[in-house]
Amino acid sequence: MLREVAAVRYIAPLRSGGSVPGVVEADDLGTYVVKFTGSAQGRKALVAEVIVGELARALGLRFPELVLVHFDPEIADGEPHQEVRDLHSASAGINLGMDFLPGAKDFTPEVAETFRVDPLEAGRIVWLDALTVNVDRTVHSSNLMVWPTFGTAPPHLWLIDHGAALVFHHRWDATEPEKAYDFRHHALGHYAPDVRAADAELAPRVTERLLREITAEVPDAWLADEPGFATPDELRDAYAGYLHARVRASAAWLPTDFPTREELAAEEALRAAKSQRGRPKWLQQVPDLHGKPAAEQDWSVHLG
């Protein structure tokens, strides 16, 4: 089960995402990025974080430890922004924390130009995303970190942010375990991900027993009051059953068509050219920022 800790010091909000998580220190002397139950994404985002993150860890992928964080809004009463204070007030109690990776860097397209990723490792990550329907790991928003970025230890890819995964739980009446999704623009697509080898290696390990153990880690409160399900355990069974059925149907959804770097660049150039059409000449000199990746984020700055 996930460990429970209590937040004892609020450090800063992270404004790189819409949920505005916060960095806190806890009573176990650890530092965590906390996603709050009161965020606009709702508790289903936290459910997805737990299920996909713990599945990644069970399969040997690098994902920071998750903990349940008891949060008292009073420890952040010095936060100057009213919208963030409102978020904290709506999140008293249990929230989700992820181990903070000091100095970690976003895996941006610029970083990807020089960072080597083994095709099998890329294939494992793509396979996990396809299984859990995580369409939010693209070339423009990788939700991957490179860490460590200092010292002599070699840097590795770390997975973060799976709140947008498990899209099926937003419409349980329209679930299709064999459905394929478009992963052509996956952040690791140009590394020739060996998804077939990943499927052969990982699919047998995603058993119904493993899925039931993982779904058991989601707090009851985050599973309560779901229409169509009488109890949290009934909803846990639905998650485990759906993902297990999807594993068995991997031949139908396994993504194998990935554009090369050159094809991606050509698509981006075409998109940029289309965005210029019909604009006044004076506006054609203004860069089109839509769809561009955010500036590289250095998490260490949030430690002050």
pLDDT digits (tens, 9 = 90+) for 11-55: 999 987 678 999 999 999 999 999 999 999 999 999 999 999 999
What count of Cα atoms within 13 Å lies in the side-chain half-sphere of residue 99? 15
pLDDT higher than threshold 80 for residue 302 = no
Gap between the Cα atoms of 182 and 118, Å rounded = 22
How are beta strands 93-99 and 105-106 bridged, if at all? Answer: unpaired
Q: How confident is the model at residue 175 (pLDDT cuts 50, 70, 90)?
A: confident
Q: How confident is the model at residue 286 (pLDDT cuts 50, 70, 90)?
A: low
Gap between the Cα atoms of 39 and 88, Å rounded = 9
Per-residue pLDDT at 140: 87
pLDDT higher than threshold 50 for residue 295 = no
pLDDT higher than threshold 70 for residue 289 = no
Per-residue pLDDT at 283: 57
Gap between the Cα atoms of 256 and 204, Å rounded = 20
Q: How confident is the model at residue 275 (pLDDT cuts 50, 70, 90)?
A: confident
Work out the percent of the chain whose per-residue pLDDT is above 90: 79
**pTM of the entire predicted model:** 0.88
Q: Looking at residues 190-203, what average pLDDT do you find?
A: 97
* SS3 of residue 215 by DSSP: helix
What is the average pLDDT score of the chain?
91
Q: Using an 8 Å Cβ cutoff, are 293 and 140 in contact?
A: yes
Structure tokens at 234: 């009934």
Gap between the Cα atoms of 176 and 168, Å rounded = 8
Top-confidence residue, 65 or 174: 65
Q: How confident is the model at residue 268 (pLDDT cuts 50, 70, 90)?
A: confident
Q: How confident is the model at residue 267 (pLDDT cuts 50, 70, 90)?
A: confident
pLDDT higher than threshold 50 for residue 292 = no
Collect all residues with Cβ–Cβ distance below 8 Å to 151 and sequence separation of at least 6. none
Angle between helices 119-131 and 43-58 (to 10 degrees): 140
Q: How confident is the model at residue 207 (pLDDT cuts 50, 70, 90)?
A: very high
Q: How confident is the model at residue 260 (pLDDT cuts 50, 70, 90)?
A: confident
- Output b/e per residue, 149-178; b: 16+ Cβ within 10 A: beeeeebebbbbbbbbbbbbbeeeeeeebe
Element (H, E) at 33: strand 31-35
